[in-house]
Amino acid sequence: MLGLSLSVLLWGMASCNCSMSQYLTALPVSSENTIPIPSFSPTPSPVIIPETSEPLPFITQTPAFQSFPIQPLSQMLEDGADWHVWVKELGGRVLFEWRSDEVIHPASIVKVPLGMLVLETLEKGTEEPLDLVLDKGPTGAGRSYRQLLRAMLVYSEEDATEILERDLFERVHQKAVQQILDRWQAPSIRFRPRRASIHDLSTLWECLYTRQCLSESASEQILTWLAEETSSDNGRLWTLKPYLPEESRIYNKRGSMTIPLTVGDCGLVEIPYYPVLLICIVGQSQGEPNFDRLHQKIGEFVQEVWVLWQDYREIKDE
């Protein structure tokens, strides 16, 4: 039984100025595999044609619930930064959106679509089980696909990202990659240069979680990596951790860069017996608000979403 209500918890956190890092446990980086990594050599296919050109039928484009209060969230975003936001219950309606269709540089959040494409094309390029394919690796990379994908999705390593991106476009024609993204209803996503709308990124998160883009095993593998908690998970979506019921889970991929100044986070909050909550938010500025303020605002925003959604869903601390 949780003895405090959410409002008391939020008051207590503000008054004691507690650091969220005290709730977090860093996971060690796995040791490098010293065994030679075999190269993956799929059947040559310059173009992968999707099984159907029809988009996947899982996106709900209905308006937000009239009873969900959006004004407090809108007011939070009027701070001089350029915000792009999508909040939705998976399988339900959009609760809040803010300039979600504008195509921007989403920083490292775009690594989730890249990881999905890597697994999709690896599975389609061979009849081998996914586990065997993941233990292989790109020619000359020195690491397996499993190691590279975890380094990219958990630790946001740029070297691993560059290797995986280069390998993807060497194995698959760019047109075929775009066909897959179109079928996944995420046509704005690009990697050279990195571009996406928050709407399309959110679409892929829903597609990933509902297992409608990738196979069950590939979806589960990516979600496992996205749920790993690291020493850097001390803000943004992870500010919700102390307020969530036991057995809840956060899946997320954060992103940041300096030019343009960009700070963001995109992920899912999974709570037993309730719909999964999708929150994707990216803020950009020309220097003011600065990085720390953008980072802090995202934490404040997701906490406000949680407060409003808790009231909306009448989730009770037990």
Q: Determine the pLDDT at residue 54.
A: 56
Nearest to 249 by CA among 268, 233, 231, 236: 268
Is 291 strand, coil or helix? helix
Q: Give the whole-number percent of the chain exceeding pLDDT 90.
A: 70
Per residue in 113-157, pLDDT (tens digit) is 999 999 999 999 888 999 999 999 999 999 999 999 999 999 999
Nearest to 37 by CA among 134, 166, 164: 134
List own/partner pairs for 189-196 with CB under 8 A and 24 or more apart: 189/110, 189/113, 191/110, 191/114, 191/165, 192/165, 193/105, 194/105, 194/106, 194/107, 194/110, 195/103, 195/104, 195/105, 195/106, 195/110, 196/103, 196/104, 196/106, 196/109, 196/110, 196/113
If you search the block for the tokens 């059947």, which residue do you land on?
Answer: 43
- Binned at pLDDT 50, 70 and 90, residue 3 comes out as very low
Per residue in 63-120, pLDDT (tens digit) is 444 578 899 999 999 999 999 999 999 999 899 999 999 999 999 999 999 999 999 9
Nearest to 244 by CA among 208, 223, 268: 268
Q: Determine the pLDDT at residue 287.
A: 83
- pLDDT above 60 for 304: yes
pLDDT averaged over the chain? 84
Around Cβ 66, how many Cβ atoms within 10 Å?
7
Per residue in 156-173, pLDDT (tens digit) is 999 999 999 999 999 999
